[in-house]
Amino acid sequence: MIVPGASSQALAAALADELDEPLAAVEYDRFPDGETLAAVPDFDADRAVVVATTDSNDAWVELLQLQDAVREAGATEVVTVIPYMGYARQDQAFEPGHPVSARAMARAASTGADRVVLVNPHEDGVADFFDAHVTICDAAGVLAEPLPDDLVEPLFLSPDSGAVELAEATRDAYGIGEIDYFQKVRHSGTDVEITPSDADPAGRDVVIVDDIVATGSTMSEAVTHLDAGGAARVFATCVHPLLARNARTKLERAGIARIVGTDTVERDVSAVSVAPIVAAAVDAVESA
């Protein structure tokens, strides 16, 4: 039975279709003191597949509650799918006294899961923080799907060297195009400095590929440079379209032609589903 977290209802429904499993009715509630309650009154299966993007503290708590609720209701196996794992970027203690937040979250989730499925976590190494078995799936293959067929001399570009493989995989899925990457220095959560690459964007359609668009600082800086370099159209594509705070406005003001992402984070730009990829990973987990 597929059990959706509040932030992953569309993806959970798509996954239920892919796996041909029923979708549990989940009740999400909040007490007057602010505590959340996620319950599964009709859960009735041996295996629970909890699907919960953890893009907020409440979502993390709901995930833990759902894992516990399905066990209470009789599940003997819990597979937890975390399509977008919040806190994954806090994967080290950046200053003395800081926590390794990704590890803390991973350990908490592991207490209720037999197996975990992640989609493009910021670094694959985050899997080591889980005590449960982890399968990582890669959405790069579907990122090209929403792009127009008529890209002119396409240039696929990652805003830093860390996402160049994602850009390459997206180009491969699209079929044609050059690859390049920018150099990025992050000065703060919202202040990034980008150094343009060698590839000349003049007159070309450029696709910027990244794993996450969070504050939109990275993408909007990249778009500004490409615009100044005379790029024809600039598309932004990412796995996780978090689009926090004023990210959307930043991108629009920078002159983006279109932004697209997957349904790991459910936004109006989530143009492509990772459900088939996640379904394959859940099945692979099953036979692991």
Residues in contact with ligand R5P by CB under 6 A are 159-160, 162-163, 192, 210-218
154 versus 159: smaller Cβ distance to ligand R5P: 159
Query: Minimum distance from CB of 51 to ligand R5P (Å)?
Result: 23
The burial of 67, by beta-carbon neighbours within 10 Å (0-12 exposed, 13-18 middle, 19 or more buried), is given as buried
82 versus 163: smaller Cβ distance to ligand R5P: 163
- The one catalytic residue among 103, 122, 184, 204: 184
Query: Minimum distance from CB of 129 to ligand R5P (Å)?
Result: 18
| 184 labelled catalytic | yes
**CA angle centred on 242, ends 31 and 68, rounded to 5°:** 40
Taking residue 102's Cβ as centre, other Cβ atoms within 10 Å add up to 24
Query: Minimum distance from CB of 215 to ligand R5P (Å)?
Result: 3
- What is d(CA 6, CA 281) in angstroms, rounded to the nearest whole number? 22
Query: Minimum distance from CB of 32 to ligand R5P (Å)?
Result: 34
Tokens (6 digits) for 86: 């919040």
- What is d(CA 210, CA 269) in angstroms, rounded to the nearest whole number? 15
15 versus 212: smaller Cβ distance to ligand R5P: 212
Residues 6+ apart with CB under 8 A from 94: none
118 versus 212: smaller Cβ distance to ligand R5P: 212
Q: Which residues are catalytic?
A: 184
